[in-house]
Structure 1
Amino acid sequence: MRRLLPWLLAAGLGLAGPTSAARPIAAKATSPAAQGLERLGSALSLGELNEQAQQWVNEGFDAPDEVLARLDDLQRGLDAAPPLAWARVVERTRGVVAARTGREALAQEAAGRLSQMAGQDAVAAADAAMVRALLDEQLWRNDSAIGHALEADAAYARACAGDAGRSAGCDHHGWWEVIRMLALRADRQGNRLEAARLQQRANELAAQAGDDVLLAWGLASQAVMSQRLNDLEKSRREMTQAERHAHKDPSGRAMIRVLLNSAALASLRNERTGSRPALEEAVRIARSAGSARLEALALAALSDELLRAGRPRDALAAVERALPVMRRFNDRRYLPVMLHNGGIARVRLGQLGQGKADLEAAVQLWEQARARARVETELNESADAFAAAGDMKAALESFHRATRLREQMDRETRDAVLTQLRDRFRTEAGQRDLELAERENSVKTARLENQTLMQRVWMLASAVLTLAAGVLIVQVRRTRQANLQLRRSEALLKVQSERDPLTGLANRRHFREALAARQEGEGDGFQGGLILLDVDHFKRINDEHGHAIGDSVLVEVAHRLSACVRAGDVACRWGGEEFLVHTPALAVESVEALALRVLGEIGNRPVELPGGQRITVTMSMAYAAFPLPPNGVTLPWEQAVNLVDMGLYSAKATGRDRAVGISAADVNSTEALARAAGDFERARLDGRLVVKETPRQG
């Protein structure tokens, strides 16, 4: 199960506010926010105005309709046009409340009014960009959200830094929101040092404003970032400080965020017993505070932990409590998460029909948001759940959807990298050609000048001509060197395009070209052995040790695989944690011996990690030697890989850490063999495919 807490903690929902208790929405005549805003005309300073407006934002987190209606009533009841600062704060408040509930038209209208004020009020430009960033984040338009956040950060820095900010009536909440949004973007991209730097900026802003709520939340978030940077002592110190500030918030909302981050820390430290109690306490506090949205966020994280603990019934109950709230508030970021968790829970409970429907709905929502990496992860988890439930057809379908998606993403990434490399080398080559042309032009100019001088002083002209000849020789040599460097660069580009940058093995493109060259002249039938390997539980390695350790594991697996294959074999990184080996002209017994040697070489020796830690890494694999006996039936190489891929999935479904060999096929044609590959399990059972399964020998 994927780690949900870091994603839930990315939500900028409902906590930005003063340290006073969050008050429930009351009647119009008695609400503190209403009372404050009704006397804004003359009695309140800008600082008091911002504080009253923030209380309104906090009320709007759980009751947006009441707050938006009250703002409309307030504006209609004014006898005269309000001061510009008053109008800015009200429009910002309206925009934030609307954005956090995904009300696009209303939020854009408020942002537009703020933009119209920008010519007279510099803070209004920053507030407009901030509202648009919050709206795009709520609607999961990540690229646009970050663009508006960068715009808002720069505008706040111009308008709100130092004494000028206090006189302009700047409010720190909006600036804090956009800085934190940028920190989360850096963290998602793996730039953890930049994420920690930005979060520190946000914390300093909250500390300068004396805002215990934001400071508690920011320190707890930074504690998680410090843990990921392996600064354990700093992480503990920051979490202690966060708890101290959270206790100053009587509403309990700051403590909810601290508890969510505390649960994330427990997961990072593999303290499983620490995650669930913290999340259950967050649910309890949110319910006591009357915040249905914060309770739903805590339940979302809790459902993930309950699934991981093997309690699908309790996880489903948490999902069913949270899902209506998320739908009511249009929380598009969390809807697919909850649908997926509910679907996995239903599949584990045997409710296959509804479970499949929920899982497919989650995938469609992620696809709409173009979150393809998340789609791949969830399809793989769905495949594991279906396999455990005995629905092998659904498991294979999810597995192959994930595989096709991974291949598409790898292909697009490879094409983008190659395009970038080609453009760079073309630019460099063009620059060199330009420099050569300029030098040649200089030589021609020098010759003309020399001819003029020759008419006046022959001796001097002779000397100049001699010098020009020397310059020409130098230029010719430089031209040759430039052409040589260009050829070397082209050769380097070819090598880089054929190798996987992480492991140094051949990549999928080179593997295809090598196989095409070897099979040339042999017809459509594929000749030779294939071994397809996949690292077992690789997602768990990334989750428990981090992606850097996961990359180290892939490098070590590639090293051991290279040590096992022969000089004439081709080993490649097929994609993600998959590797593929082609061995020309080997009998099935020899291919089997090679496969088992690789299985033992990887699984029998633990992988050494930095710091002296050791982990055992195992592989699932499948192999075959073509043409398949007894009838010598062959397949095109792509279908041969697909057949071995089905064997690999069978190895995973029957326990992992083993090799599945396809030793024979009782068929008489390529078409019959292709049909057997398409329904692997049935062909195995009825004897059309003879399969040998061999667990690793320790």
Structure 2
Amino acid sequence: MAPARKLGLRKRLSLLGMLLCLALAPAVLAQPSVDPAAALSAEDAAVLAEAERLEDSAIRDFGEAAATMQALAERASETSPLRRELLAIAGRWYANAELHEAAEALADQLDARAQQLGDGSDLAASLVRLRVLALAQGAAMSLEQMRALKPRIERELGPRERLRYWYNLANNLRAAGELAEAIAAFQAATELADANNSASWRALVRSGLAESLAAFGQQHRAEALVREAVEIALALGDDLLLSDVYSTLGVVLEQGGDTEGLLAAMTLAISHARSAGDNTNLAVLLGNVAHYHLVRTEYEQAERVSLEALDVAERNEDRTGRALANINLGLARIGLGQIDAGKQLVRRGLDEDESRGQRSEAALTYAELGAALERAGDLTGAVEAYHSARRLDDEIFREDQQRAVLALQEQIDARRRDKAIEQLQAEDARKAAQLERNQLQQWVWRLLALLLVMALIVLIAGVRRLRQSNRKLAGVNAQLRLQSERDALTGLANRRHVQAVIKLSGGERTYRGSLYLIDLDHFKSINDRHGHAVGDAVLIEVSRRLRGLCRGEDLAARWGGEEFLLAVEWLAPADAARLAERILHELSRAVQHEDLRIPISASIGFASLPLPPAALELSFEQSLRLIDSALYLAKLRGRNRACGIRWVRDGSGQAVEATVADIEHAEALGRIGLETIIGAGE
């Protein structure tokens, strides 16, 4: 069993958190940031009071509650923002009840109101439709559209509506695995909840923020926040809210390795859910208790609790709870030796998850299934489960990688635009200097024609000014050339400069020397966690360290993004390996930026050319592709390591290209000799 099983706990985040958000939304209405008497008419105040009472009750039928809230909204003043807020809440409740036609009808009504009043009701309509989309296809499907609404929501909606928006966005981001952005959204919701002075919302958003911080590795801060949420909920005496915050406390404690704390917190959460008469989330809470027993290999207890959770889920038509209960029950029965029956139950839960786009949860479940089958002795089934987990992880990784590439491309394009502007400015300066030079020459010739007597004096003055102008022009040209062949951020040579040097030395045809291609590991996470300014500081420090490793004729260049190239005079294989080890050591020391200490590491591909045993000669481009494939292999085998090419047996062009295409296969066939140097770390 994995040390910290997340399946059941994450399900609670993605569904329970969002349902509680919608269920508690009118509580914010009850505590406006302005004087209610000044903001509401007497009739609207009465409507608000009834909305509060509806919200304070435990909602068991969202469809019925939505119809009641819609009727209350129709009683509010036609132009009052209160009507817009209540209609939006009713629409989202219809979505919760899977009454999509009723939700769409309310969205259409809000669109019509926006055309009549121009009050931002179309934003409320969009949020209702996005709620339907998130529940039908997964939270990730609605994220981009929700992000696009931010500017208008900040300008056109009230503080209570903005609070609901930020909280819903944060939960969707967390469900999609985008934790850094989710934490920022939860912090925005926390500020709005504190400004509205709503105790229930202050507890709820702290609970969500704590869960995200724990998943992000900020355990101490997460535990402090969730305990603060528990104190607020205890002061309110709200059983539904206490059920939520105790459940979050269990999640946070398990992240810190406290499984006994998980059981105690989940037991309290179940007790308060039952006291509130809330069975909608009971199956998931019981699932978390079953997870506790699975972690401790108490399979009979896990089976008992899972059966209870499955019964509750079936009675409440809770798809999330049913999926979790089937998975936990299947894992328990595998542990009890009922392998085939257990696999069928887990498969049933996985089908439920995958049908709702919960790929991250499915990947974790496959991994747990693989571990359970491995312990039970079903090695074939374990391998299949591990392969399924790897397949889903790879798909998610590729999608994350595509998003990262797009962001990096945008950054590169912005830098190219800035560089183009600098070059245009330098070109303008050169043209201005040229124009000044031409004007000066004309002036000199005129003076010579008109004043032969003063020719010598005028000539001396003109030549002096001409020399000054030429020096200025030469300086501008030198600056332009330097800017075009130097990386603006690090001061290292860039790709253009390296290519010019290679061309001058004849390396385009046959390259001789030792090449190192270096890529910083996990650089995107540094930018995501600390910001691009810190990322730039890391690149500058890495460049400084690489320059320190260079000798007189060596060349260090920034090859692109977080990738660097080191070209040195030819080194014997042993010396080349020692230099690779020195580079790994230098790039494993943490970078200190202000009060931040940022750990780094790098992966390296390298070779000394020509390559033995037949002194294989390659062009610079072929050499670069070969060590790039070695760099890829270093990444594949765990990062923080260097992969060096010692020899290539077949030097034909076709064989070299095949080696570049699949270096790992070439090594297995004995076509290429590799050595791996593992970095020691800081």
Short-chain TM bin: 0.5 to 0.7
Aligned match for 1:622, one of 605, 613, 624: 605
Decide which of 69, 91, 96 is 1:95's aligned counterpart: 91
What 5-or-longer segments of structure 2 have no aligned partner? 28-42, 296-326, 333-345, 432-468
Task: Give the conservation status (yes or no) of the 8 Å contact 1:342–1:355.
Answer: no
2:365 to 334, 342, 358: 342
1:13 Cα deviation from its structure 2 partner = 0.2
What residue is the counterpart of 1:511 in the other structure? Answer: 495
Which structure 1 segments of 5+ residues have no match? 23-41, 161-171, 307-312, 377-404, 434-478
Q: CA offset at residue 587 of structure 1? A: 4.7
Aligned partner of residue 257 in structure 2, secondary structure:
helix
- Comparing 410-419 with 231-240, greater Cα deviation is found at 231-240
Q: Output the CA distance in 2 between the equivalents of 1:423 and 1:282.
A: 60
Alignment partner of 2:269 out of 255, 268, 285: 285
Matches within 5 A, 1:35-54: 45-51=46-52, 54=55
- Give SS of 1:631's match: coil
CA distance in 1, matches of 2:481, 2:238: 67
Query: Does the CA-based 8 Å contact 1:529-1:583 persist in structure 2?
Result: yes
8 Å CA contact 1:295, 1:322 repeated in 2: no
Taking structure 1 as reference, are residues 567 and 657 closer, same or farther at Cα in structure 2, changes over 3 Å only?
same
Cα shift at 1:203: 1.5
Residue 16 of structure 1: aligned partner? 21
* 1:418 Cα offset (Å): 1.8
Query: 1: distance between equivalents of 2:150 and 2:286?
Result: 23
1:115 aligns with: 111
Q: Secondary structure at the match of 2:110?
A: helix
Q: Residues of 1 paired with 2:427 and 2:49: CA distance? A: 62
Give the whole-Å Cα distance in 2 for the aligned partners of 1:554 and 1:124: 47
For residues 157-556 of structure 1, what are the structure 2 equivalents within 5 Å?
A: 157=158, 172=160, 174-180=161-167, 198-207=188-197, 210=198, 212-221=199-208, 238-247=225-234, 248=236, 250-257=238-245, 259-260=247-248, 263=251, 272-274=256-258, 277-278=261-262, 281-282=265-266, 285=269, 289-292=278-281, 295=284, 317=331, 330=356, 332=357, 335-345=358-368, 351-357=382-388, 360=391, 372=399, 374-375=400-401, 410-419=408-417, 422=420, 494=484, 499=487, 501=489, 505=492, 510-511=494-495, 514-515=498-499, 517-519=501-503, 521-534=506-519, 556=541
Q: How many Å apart are 1:530 and its aligned residue? A: 2.0
User: What letter is aligned with 1:203?
Assistant: A
Counterpart in 1 of 2:313? none
Amino acid at match of 2:626: L
Q: Which amino acid aligns with 2:205?
A: G
What amino acid is the match of 2:365? G
Distance in structure 2 (CA, Å) of the matches to 1:659 and 1:522: 24
- Aligned Cα root-mean-square deviation (Å): 6.2
Structure 1 residues 364 and 624, CA gap change in structure 2 (3 angstroms):
closer
Q: For the Cα contact (< 8 Å) 1:196–1:226, is it kept in 2?
A: no
The CA deviation at 1:616 is 7.6
Show CA shifts across 1:291-331 (max 9, x none): 3499389969x89x98xxxxxx9899598797566567x4x
In structure 2, which of residues 615, 626, 642 is the aligned counterpart of residue 632 of structure 1?
615
Measured at CA, do residues 93 and 357 of structure 1 come closer, stay the same or move farther in structure 2, by a change above 3 Å? Answer: same
Cα distance, 1:231–1:145 mapped onto 2, change above 3 Å: closer
State the TM-score, normalized to the length of structure 1: 0.59
Q: Which residue of 1 aligns with 2:321?
A: none
Given the alignment of the two structures, is residue 565 of structure 1 paired with residue 563 of structure 2, yes or no?
Answer: no
Report if aligned partners of 1:635, 1:670 keep a CA contact under 8 Å in 2. Answer: no
Offset of 1:185 from its aligned partner?
10
Distance 1:666 1:228, change over 3 A: closer
Distance in 2 between residues matched to 1:294 and 1:570, nearest whole Å: 63
Counterpart check, 1:144 vs 2:142: no
CA distance in 2, matches of 1:255, 1:633: 70
Question: Matches of 2:563 and 2:191 in 1, distance apart?
Answer: 41
The one-letter amino acid paired with 1:199 is: A
Partner of 1:31: none
Superposed CA offset, 1:110-168 (max 9, x none): 222113234369585564354356557645333421333443343333xx7xxxxxxxx
The answer on whether the counterparts of 2:591 and 2:600 sit within 8 Å (CA) in structure 1 is no
Cα 1:294–1:244 shift into 2, 3 Å: farther
SS across alignment from 2:614:
coil
1:400 paired residue number: none
Counterparts in 2 of 1:67 and 1:504: CA distance versus 1, 3 Å: farther
Q: Is the 8 A contact 1:665 1:689 kept in 2?
A: yes
Partner of 1:452: none
Letter in 2 for 1:48: A
CA distance in 2, matches of 1:231, 1:356: 31
Hey, what's the Cα distance between the residues in 2 that align with 1:6 and 1:113? 35
Instruction: Give the alignment partner of residue 681 of structure 1, picking from 651, 664, 677.
Output: 664
Given residue 418 of structure 1, which amino acid in structure 2 is its aligned partner?
A: R
Query: CA–CA distance in 2 between the matches of 1:21 and 1:224?
Result: 23
Partner of residue 128, structure 1: 125
Matched with 2:627 is: 644
Letter paired with 2:644: G
Out of 640, 648, 654, the position equivalent to 1:665 is: 648
Following superposition, the deviation at residue 17 of structure 1 comes to: 6.1
Query: What is the Cα deviation at residue 664 of structure 1?
Result: 1.2
* Counterpart Cα distance in 1 of 2:481 and 2:550: 26
Cα offset, 1:667, TM superposition? 0.8
Q: Find the aligned partners of 2:10 and 2:477 in 1 and give their Cα distance.
A: 48
SS of residue matched to 1:131:
helix
Name the counterpart of 2:156. 155
CA distance in 2, matches of 1:315, 1:258: 24
Counterpart amino acid of 1:219?
Answer: R
**Match of residue 582 from structure 1:** 567
The code of the aligned residue for 1:295 comes to V
User: Conserved in 2, the CA contact under 8 Å of 1:213 and 1:254?
Assistant: no
- Partners of 1:277 and 1:228 lie apart in 2 by 17
Cα 1:227–1:545 shift into 2, 3 Å:
farther
Distance 1:689 1:585, change over 3 A: same
Tell me what 1:473 maps to.
Answer: none
Q: 2:518, 2:605 within 8 Å by CA — same for their partners in 1?
A: yes
Q: CA deviation at 1:408?
A: 6.4
The aligned residue for residue 168 of structure 1 is none
- For residues 244 and 132 of structure 1, the distance between their equivalents in structure 2, rounded to whole angstroms, comes to 35
Cα deviation, residue 242, structure 1: 1.5
Q: What is the alpha-carbon distance in structure 1 between the residues aligned to residue 635 and residue 513 of structure 2?
A: 24
- The residue type equivalent to 2:149 in the other structure is H
Is contact 2:179-2:212 (8 Å) kept? no
Q: Are the counterparts in 1 of residues 23 and 59 from structure 2 also a CA contact under 8 Å?
A: no
Conservation of the 8 A alpha-carbon contact between 2:246 and 2:269: no
Aligned residues: 557
For 2:148, the aligned partner's letter is G
Contact 2:22 2:93 in 1 (8 A): no
Overall identity of the aligned pairs, in %: 21
Deviation at 1:250, TM superposition (A): 3.9
Query: Deviation at 1:538?
Result: 7.2
